[in-house]
Structure 1
Amino acid sequence: MFSELQRYIPVGICVLDQAHTVVFANEFLKNRLPDNTPKNIEGMSIDEVFPEAAKIIKRKLKSVFALKAASFSYWEHRPHVFELSSSRPVTGDETSMYQNIQYVPIFEHSEEVKKVCVIIQDVTELASYYQEQKRLTEALEIEKQELKTLNLKLEAAQNQLLQSEKMAAIGQLAAGVAHEINNPIGFVNSNIQSLEGQASGLFAMLDFYESNFSTLADSGLAQQEQQLQNQHSIDFLKEDVPELLQECLEGLDRVSKIVESLKSFSHVDNQEWQEADLIKGIESTLKIANNSIKYHAVINKTYSLDDEVLLYCQPMQINQVFLNLIINAAQSIESSGAVTISIEDKQNEVIIAIQDTGKGIPAEDINKIFNPFFTTKPVGQGTGLGLSLSYSIVAKHKGRIQVDSQVGVGTTFTVSFPKLSEADFSDEFTDK
């Protein structure tokens, strides 16, 4: 009866003795042996039947004979111990069998183990399911990471667009401010210049009257004139009024330059790709950022204002890079220090270095600083977008931005732009 039943049991059964000889093998096992293996394997050594797996099987058998306890082998650890075939549950294709294996000791009328029954369970279907799930999970994880990366790029692009729109709004504001302020500045400046000339004339007349009062016979009038001079501090006014008028003219000139710097920084006249002077861009940026810098750092420049460093670029965006790097440099200085700006105009590229004496960037953060939304500033004091946007702008101009930092010493950002022409940026013009 048992021999009849074992034909239908869907597991492989193989009984081995202490000499590693096959004592019994059921039909399920025999039918899945390789074609070059005899079907009647009883009496054969496992070295003959399973030469590649013999070493592993012997080690398992040795454990069972010595410990008199069952041993197990799962497909996750060793998928194909026995060289057996199996049919795929869906496709029907023949493939290597994934196996869960039990090595069960057989006791024969004593406590001594004489034989071991090896039970081989075909788990190809289960293994296929788990492997497919693993593949799908890995694919899903890859898609998740790709989606995350895409979302970060999308956020960066949206933020860059918002930044561009903000800069365009600043440009329009600058144009309006320039128009509204330049007119009153013009007539106030004209009036003060006129007043300066008129005051000179009045003081000349006072000098004339003063010199001629001494010739009057009426000493009372001369005394009265002297009292009026003392009462109204005429001598002081002669010195102070010209100085006040000159200071007013200097103040008006500073206001005019600030308005012009704002206009230059935002490039309201032209936001297209063009050849621009980087020194003028840095100078206008420094004027705009002056209020954020003056309380933290002294600005050192290693370039001459008389020089001209030209680059084909989008000036408004390049100025935005300068603004981000300069303000970051100033804000990294906790008490007082210096920010040094240098420009090296080479034959094929322009190199701008912005160095500060601030607190520096920890080594573990260096590779993160260009990531969107990463910031080392306290909550509410930084968005983590400045360096990310700067990196994108530099990359758009086919340049590179590098950072070298030492905690407690300072940081240097080096931006390099290749000297290219309009033809080199033809792929960018669709984004204008």
Structure 2
Amino acid sequence: MKNLQKKDLLLISLMLFSLFFGAGNLIFPPFLGQSAGVATWKAMATFFITAVGFPVLGVVAVAKSGGLNNLSKRVNPIFASIFTVLIYLSIGPCLGIPRAGSLPFEMAVAPYLPDSISKTLALFLFTLVFFMVAYWLSLSPAKLVDRMGKILTPTLLFLIVFMFLGALFKPLGGYGEATGAYVDSPVVKGFLEGYLTMDTIAALNFGIVIALAIKSRGVKDEKQVVSYSIKAGIIAGTLLIVIYSMLAHLGATSGGRFGATKNGAQTLTNVTTHIFGSSGAVLLAAIFTLACLTTCVGLITSCSEYFCTLTNKISYKNWVRILALSSMSLANMGLTKILAISVPVLVAIYPIAIMLIVLAILDNLFKGDSTIYGLTILFTGAVSVVDALGQSGIKLEMVHDLFSRLPLYAEGLGWVFPALVGMFLGVVMSFGQQWVRLKLTNVKGDS
């Protein structure tokens, strides 16, 4: 039985951090801080739950279950096929990867383009180079630990810490006033903002990448793989909390000095310009590009690994080529269209992903019981899918009116109560079935 060296555990933890930390993770905390102002830390407390806690638990759940497909099969084989493909497509070539390719351009390049240069052409050239690099890094998944853990992640962390230290030496001022939903319900708003990082969904993909990385270091025992996945998740999660806290603080002080902005990228632009002048744009561009590149590579790798299991006619390298090319094409749609699609998709599948992770973590109690898994996911999905349809402009009036009476529905958490009810009913029915089987066995034994 081989143990993982501390150095390798640290490198794998840094790789996991970099897989999670894309440009979305870079812009949401400062925007939260700028919007929440004096209520920043109330909102961040619950933001950490959906943006850090569940993603780390997701990595553990997938490692513990032997893959997302195995975990989903506990609900139903048909559900497993549909949900797993939907997760990989949404976080991969249809949404997550194109977003990772277009976001650094829109936030760190486009604002500084001269009028004489076509934005469409510039986006094409940027995404071409970006996805060529991502393609090259994804071709050798065994080398990801060294390339990301030793080079890309430390560089990214250094740049973010450098920006934060700059703000300490040249402070922006005090926290601003809370605005919008943060005035009355910062706790709920912070929880929902964590959805936008997409990390809980991504964790269902990255769990298998981390497990494979651990096994590539010679660890074969499944219990050890799960144990090291937990340790890597804790280290990566701690790093995420530290970096998110830095960014939220920058956003909160930025709100006090500059007032409201449209998004977190503008908030960071204000901060870096204040601290470093015009050269701050270069720093911000480097941070955005590195953050997106590391996430993009992780998504291409995990999706290619999964699609290889669906058919043996297309090799891993060909899947990497297909995903890189298709994602580059969709990235050229522009960030606005991609983000418009992302919200209803996240509303539909995020609650299901959360409850699937909760069930997996509690599986020592449930023993993979399909009744408990099935009813929990059914009740959760019923509400989240109706919510998503409403976000898309498709309202089922009678159903919507019924669901609107649920606790926390107006706050976007209407699925929580049905999820708990489904889990409770599943437990009751499961125990009832066991009791009936036990009675039938005793009756047969007596006869």
Fold-level match, TM-score > 0.5? no
| TM class by smaller structure | under 0.3
- Larger strand share, 1 or 2: 1
Normalising by structure 2, report the TM-score: 0.19
- Larger helix share, 1 or 2: 2
Normalising by structure 1, report the TM-score: 0.20
